[in-house]
Amino acid sequence: MTNDHLVSPSILSADFGNLQRDIEMLNNSEADWIHVDIMDGVFVPNISFGFPVAEVAKKHATKPLDVHLMIVEPDRYLKRFAEAGAAGLTVQLEACPNLHRTVQVIKELGCRAGVAINPHSPVSLLEDIVIDLDVVLVMSVNPGFGGQHFIENTYKKVAEAKNLIERRNSKALIEVDGGVDKNNAGKLYAAGANVLVAGSSVFAASSPSEMISMLKHA
């Protein structure tokens, strides 16, 4: 595995009647991580799932769980999600009034620490925290629902994030989430992205594993 082109399929778009089957498909694919979207109906207008589904995913997954907390007061639940099997925990910058403390707690729990920024949040808000991060997640849709259209300004934000990471000598990977498909994957990598989250484009494909391979090698 290299840090250049990683794919993290989102099980938000999986078939929940056959979740074990879909996770085993991801295990046998070229996926690097498995993305788990946690939504609370407060920070975002949708409710997805919580600890039980994360625990089921961990039980069957052989790939690291990439857990994205789109919730208010994420600090209350960091330990629980770490215990549920998260290898990485990403919080929303907009939901964390004491972001540095939150990042330190994630690291103390032994997880990869990530911070996500919504489409309206400038990359410059990460200036003083990026050195402490393992992942910068650039949201390329407004969070809350799968299947949304990709926001074109994302390429510019990814390039800005890459510039910030290099300037601050951070080792953070750049992850992109929302509307990622085979049409924009190559351009996202070219802009500086390292990790692509893909839900609908993977699970709606006639061959999800082939789509993962296409995204990885775009």
Please pick, among 32, 37, 134, 181, the residue that the annotation labels catalytic: 37
Instruction: Measure the CA–CA gap between 187 and 185, rounded to whole angstroms.
Output: 6
Instruction: Measure the CA–CA gap between 6 and 2, rounded to whole angstroms.
Output: 7
Instruction: Measure the CA–CA gap between 1 and 136, rounded to whole angstroms.
Output: 19
State yes or no: is 37 an active-site residue: yes
State yes or no: is 132 an active-site residue: no
Please pick, among 22, 32, 66, 177, the residue that the annotation labels catalytic: 177
Residue 6: Cβ-neighbour burial (10 angstroms; 0-12, 13-18, 19+):
buried
Number of H helices, E strands in the chain: 8, 8
Amino acid at site 138: V
Retrieve residue 176's tokens: 């992109």
Plot region of 72 (φ>0 → left; ψ -120 to 50 → alpha; else → beta): beta
- Half-sphere CA count of 87, side-chain side, radius 13 A: 13
Retrieve residue 87's tokens: 């290898």
**Which active-site residues does the annotation give?**
37, 177
